[in-house]
Structure formats: structure tokens, C-alpha cells
Amino acid sequence: MAEQLGAAVIGLGMMGERHAAIWRELPTTRLVSVYDIVPERTQAVAEACGCEAAGSLEAALDRPDVDLVSVCTDDGRHVEPCLAAAAAGKHILLEKPLATSLQDCDAIIAACASAGVKLMVGHVVRFDPRYAVAQQAIAEGAVGEVIQVYGRRNNILDSGRRIAPRTSVAFFLGVHDLDLMRWFVGAEAVKVHAEAASKVLVDVAAEDSIMALLKYENGAVGCLETCWAMPKGIPCTLDARLEVIGSEGMVRVTVGDEGCTVISPDRASRPDILYGPHLRGEQHGALRAQLEHFADCVRLDREPLISPRDARAAVELAVAIHESLRTGAPVYL
């Protein structure tokens, strides 16, 4: 293997563009090729990053100097690029969620296992130090037996308008906390019951808000709140919490005021500090840490922090939430 790993990126929207920039900037990797089904996107990102603008998925992957691939296509379009990357023998960093059905999850996991390539799903919040330190405290016994867990992830309506026609708030936002809550509780959920409201995104037949109650196999209860209908006047576009109460203590993570507010004559805003701030011409924060971690796992043959089983479990819960919304009844897992 070369000193620097070669990377390709498939799907060059908001996330793919960031992955491409980070693979170009990391000292352990270099960006080799990019591909989007929209040729102008491919061309624009390739020019900005100085790499090959591939004319097809196969052309992006079929290069011996590509070791790993970021798949950053829409939630419901992860399968085709992942199966192609696995068949080409490339390690895969896939944007969350793993897929939007369990059949698709299993197809991706099986393809990677039989090709012998690493698969990590980018549950980037695990690389946010606030959540990572909180989880470590729980794992070290700080809260004792977990009694309850509460996860919130609310975003502005612009995000709902951009994404809702192609996925759901449970798959796009909720899946982060379904993963984190399971990580924090350290047990599988056995029962899920969900309710939803649809008032502003009703024109695209999408839920604005989903709330779900979960029961875990260790007896803990959980509550998920996820919404993408907050007004864009809110200073921070992401409002997230994670709180665990246990027999010996509690842990709380609060996202929304990272200690930097930019104030203009008519508006105050809180810029992203932790996930992907662009500073001194480079990407920083949790997303960069996630990509660096995956490259290290490939270089040093280590197990990634997020296993395919973890990523599948989060999707299983999102699928159960939608099943509960459809039937109005709890889903037993």
C-alpha cells in the first residue's frame, strides 16, 4: 500500500464535497477521483480539488490507486455505489444511515464481508468529543444502571425543505440519536412506539416531527425527539440534547451554544464549531476526525469505531418507528 491512501468520493452534494476536501487535506490520504450522477457537480468538485472527474461510477472505482471510497449519495441510494465499491475491493466509508431498509442494509454488509473490505457508516456524532466523553463516563460507571435516556435532534425548516422529499426525519436526523442512545444505554431496544406531526411539510407528504418511546432489553426507557421544522431565525440551526439518568448519577450533553455568537444589526447566529468549521483554509472538527479515523483503520488494519452491526441497529429502529407510525401500534423487536 502506498504511503498515502488513495480516496474516491461518490455523490458530491453537501457531504460529498466535504469528504472530498478532507481526503485532499489529510496527510495520510490523497483524493484521486470523484463522481456524481450530475456531470456538472463532478466537474466542479474535481476542478476545485484537483482530481479526476470520473465519467461513471465504474471509472471512479476501477483504479488501482484508489484504496477507499466515501459514499455520500442520498439516503435511499446507498446500495448501488456500495455494492460496486465492494466488488472493486475498496474499503467503504458510507454516510449515515446505512440504508433505508433492512434488506438494503444486509445487501451492503454481505457484499463488504464477502469482498473482505472494511465498512464504516459515518455516525459522525460519535466523533463529537462531548458525546464521546459522556459515553465513556457511562461505560466507566458514572451513572450506575441506566434508567432513562432522552435524545433530541431538531433542525431548521430549510433542512426539511431540502431533504424531506427524499428521506424522512427519522432516517436523516433521528438515526444519529437512535445510534447514540443505544451506545449510551449499552443494550438493544425491544419495543418502539412512535407518533408524528405533519403540518408544514404536508405538501411533500413528510413528517415535520417524530417522537418515539423505546424500551430496552435491560429495562431502561428511552425517548427520541426529532424535528426539522424549527424557524430559521434560531441562532443555532441544530438543537440537540442527550441525557441519561441512572441509579448513581446522570450525564447531559447540550448542543446549540458552543460559546461563539456572531451578531449583526438584525440577527445573532452561532456558527458550527464542532462538526465542520472551515479554518485557515482547511476542514476541522468531528467530520475530519471521522475520516482520519477510518483512514487509520485501513492503514493499520484496525476495527472501525462504528461496526456494521451498530449501523444496522440504528436503521432497524428507524424502520420500526415508521412501522409504528403506519399501524399506530408499538413494534416489538
Ligand X SMILES: NC(=O)c1ccc[n+]([C@@H]2O[C@H](COP(=O)([O-])OP(=O)(O)OC[C@H]3O[C@@H](n4cnc5c(N)ncnc54)[C@H](O)[C@@H]3O)[C@@H](O)[C@H]2O)c1
Could you list the residues that contact ligand X (CB under 6 A)? 10-16, 35-38, 41, 57, 72-75, 77, 80-81, 95-96, 122, 124, 172
Nearest to 9 by CA among 81, 64, 79: 81
Taking the complex as a whole, how short is the minimal distance between the CB of residue 126 and ligand X, in angstroms?
10
Taking the complex as a whole, how short is the minimal distance between the CB of residue 154 and ligand X, in angstroms?
14
Q: Which is nearer to ligand X, 146 or 317 (CB)?
A: 317
Q: Which is nearer to ligand X, 80 or 217 (CB)?
A: 80
Residue with smallest beta-carbon separation from ligand X? 13
What is the total residue count of the chain? Answer: 333
Which amino acid type is present at position 32? V
Taking the complex as a whole, how short is the minimal distance between the CB of residue 3 and ligand X, in angstroms?
28
Region of 219 (left: φ > 0; alpha: ψ -120 to 50; beta: rest) is: left
Q: Which is nearer to ligand X, 14 or 202 (CB)?
A: 14
Q: Which three cell numbers stand for residue 111?
A: 457484499
Q: Which is nearer to ligand X, 174 or 222 (CB)?
A: 174
Q: Which is nearer to ligand X, 47 or 80 (CB)?
A: 80
- Preceding peptide of 81 cis, ω within 30°: no
Nearest to 211 by CA among 313, 319, 312, 321: 321
Taking the complex as a whole, how short is the minimal distance between the CB of residue 299 and ligand X, in angstroms?
22
Q: Which is nearer to ligand X, 172 or 216 (CB)?
A: 172
Taking the complex as a whole, how short is the minimal distance between the CB of residue 196 and ligand X, in angstroms?
19
Using CA atoms, how far residue 302 sits from 117, 131, 295, 296, 299, in Å, is 12, 22, 10, 7, 8
Taking the complex as a whole, how short is the minimal distance between the CB of residue 290 and ligand X, in angstroms?
8
CB 233 within 8 A of CB 264: no
Taking the complex as a whole, how short is the minimal distance between the CB of residue 20 and ligand X, in angstroms?
11
Q: Which is nearer to ligand X, 4 or 62 (CB)?
A: 62
What string of DSSP letters covers 216-283? Answer: ETTS-EEEEEEEEEE-TTSSSSEEEEEEEEESS-EEEEEES--S--EEETTEEE----SS--EETTEE
Distance CA 85, CA 115 (A): 10
